[in-house]
């Protein structure tokens, strides 16, 4: 009997602990009509999926329904499809004012009962008794009982991109997502070294000058929004390229080489969606174009510099390479490119029967910044 009494006592203690734990969980869960203030951390392009800064710690759970509202009225209604301690993702099945669904927007939510929809098209009216305007269209297939039915395949992909599992994050710039409304980009990318040189030719005197390199390109790039097209991972661009090299040689020879070029190209993106931000995007790139070149050289001896000679020619170029891009939610980005560059130059010199030609080839490592809108 003693053993039986001890077993019953331990069983009673375990049951009490379970009841207390369940009571604690119930106490944390929000009841219908309870309210919270929130901030929107991310919004999908379709504005049917949002990430907010409230989660399990605030009493929210998967399957909860709520109305989002401002002092001016109802903004939308939604259901939680994924949650973490401090974040939750909502599928919105009724949107009244989509202009208010914006990054960093502060508003309130009120826990509500689920909205049930009729499958009869003649009776597609919400049974909600709130003051929301009549006639607001509901998302197709928005049965509350199964949250995933509220999401199209596109929304599901957007949902995966803004999952709170990528948290912790303290600002929207740190959260990965997609910026599908930003289809144009301007960028600048460069390689630079600014050195100086001096030489002593003994009885011939001394001379000094620069030994610098500036390779700079600016461009505008077009992205294709429609993911159903094979062009979705491809971008096209127009660019202007400027190259300048200055050096001083033994004997005081000064030389400068300048090239102005323009052209176009394309990039293919992989490993990440080209519209992604908050995560690296890899790409391969190819460009080609035409331009003009100029070479200047002069002989310097001590304080005397001979009259320089300038040669002007034509050029053509192409480049192929690979690189990485990284963007913030606001549109600013960083890029790095390693490519192989080839420029062919041709000069017509007065008094000469044949043209002079020169080929410049080799790898380049360039970095730069960009902005998408």
Least confident of 140-154, 261-275, 295-309, 316-330: 140-154
Q: Which residue has the higher pLDDT, 173 or 107?
A: 107
Who's near 317: CB < 8 A, 6+ residues apart? 241, 261, 263, 287, 288, 289, 290, 291, 341, 342, 343, 344
* % the chain with pLDDT above 90: 33
Predicted pLDDT at 301: 56
Predicted pLDDT at 171: 41
Question: Does pLDDT of 320 surpass 50?
Answer: yes
CA gap 96, 25 in Å, rounded: 33
* Cβ atoms of residues 368 and 189 within 8 Å: yes
Who's near 100: CB < 8 A, 6+ residues apart? 70, 75, 107
* Cβ atoms of residues 174 and 278 within 8 Å: yes
Predicted pLDDT at 304: 54
* Cβ atoms of residues 187 and 367 within 8 Å: no
Predicted pLDDT at 334: 95
Question: Does pLDDT of 123 surpass 70?
Answer: no
Predicted pLDDT at 271: 87
Least confident of 12-16, 60-64, 92-96, 321-325: 12-16
Predicted pLDDT at 176: 60
Predicted pLDDT at 126: 36
Encode pLDDT of 48-73 as tens digits.
Answer: 889 998 888 888 888 889 999 998 88
Least confident of 294-303, 333-342, 363-372: 294-303
Encode pLDDT of 9-21 as tens digits.
Answer: 665 665 555 544 4
Predicted pLDDT at 322: 97
Encode pLDDT of 180-202 as tens digits.
Answer: 778 999 999 998 887 766 666 66
Domains of the chain: 29-176 (2.40.10.340), 184-372 (2.40.160.70)
Who's near 118: CB < 8 A, 6+ residues apart? 124, 125
Predicted pLDDT at 157: 56
CA gap 67, 111 in Å, rounded: 7
Q: Which residue has the higher pLDDT, 297 or 372?
A: 372
**Can you say whether the dihedral through the CA atoms of 88, 93, 95, 96 is positive or negative?**
negative
Encode pLDDT of 160-170 as tens digits.
Answer: 554 444 444 44
* Range with top average pLDDT, 105-109, 269-273, 320-324: 320-324
Encode pLDDT of 104-120 as tens digits.
Answer: 889 999 998 876 544 44
**Across all residues in the chain, what is the average pLDDT?**
76
Q: What is the CB neighbour count within 10 angstroms for residue 107?
A: 18
CA gap 288, 271 in Å, rounded: 25
The average pLDDT across 300-310 equals 64
Least confident of 23-27, 221-225, 316-320: 23-27
Q: State CA 370 to chain mean position distance.
A: 10
The average pLDDT across 74-86 equals 87
């Amino acid at each position: 009997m003693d053993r039986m009494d001890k077993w019953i006592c331990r069983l009673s203690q375990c049951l009490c602990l379970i009841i207390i734990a369940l009571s604690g969980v119930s106490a944390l869960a929000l009841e219908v009509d309870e309210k919270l203030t929130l901030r929107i951390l991310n919004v999908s392009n379709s504005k049917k999926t949002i990430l907010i800064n409230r989660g399990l710690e605030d009493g929210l759970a998967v399957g909860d329904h709520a109305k989002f509202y401002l002092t001016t009225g109802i903004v939308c209604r939604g259901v939680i499809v994924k949650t973490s301690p401090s974040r939750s993702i909502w599928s919105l099945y009724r949107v009244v004012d989509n202009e208010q669904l914006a990054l960093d927007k502060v508003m309130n939510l009120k826990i509500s009962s689920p909205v049930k929809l009729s499958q009869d098209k003649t009776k597609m009216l919400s049974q909600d008794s709130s003051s929301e305007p009549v006639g607001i269209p509901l998302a197709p297939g928005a049965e509350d009982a199964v949250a995933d039915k509220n999401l199209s395949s596109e929304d599901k992909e957007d949902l995966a991109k803004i999952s709170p599992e990528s948290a912790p994050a303290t600002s929207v710039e740190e959260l990965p997502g997609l910026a599908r409304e930003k289809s144009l980009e301007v960028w600048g990318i460069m390689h630079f070294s600014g050195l100086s040189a001096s030489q002593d030719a003994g009885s011939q005197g001394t001379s000094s000058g620069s030994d610098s390199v500036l390779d700079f390109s600016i461009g505008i790039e077009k992205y294709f929004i429609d993911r159903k097209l094979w062009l979705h991972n491809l971008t096209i661009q127009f660019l202007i390229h400027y190259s300048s090299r200055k050096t001083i040689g033994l004997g005081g020879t000064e030389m400068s080489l300048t090239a102005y070029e323009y052209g176009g190209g394309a990039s293919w993106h992989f490993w990440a969606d080209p519209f992604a931000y908050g995560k690296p995007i890899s790409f391969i790139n190819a460009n080609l174009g035409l331009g003009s070149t100029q070479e200047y050289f002069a002989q310097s001896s001590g304080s005397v510099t001979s009259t320089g000679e300038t040669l002007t020619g034509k050029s053509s170029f192409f480049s192929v390479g690979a690189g990485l891009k990284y963007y913030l939610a606001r549109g600013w980005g960083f890029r790095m490119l390693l490519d192989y560059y080839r420029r062919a130059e041709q000069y017509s010199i007065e008094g000469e029967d044949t043209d002079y030609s020169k080929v410049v080839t080799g790898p380049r490592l360039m970095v730069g910044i960009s902005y998408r809108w």
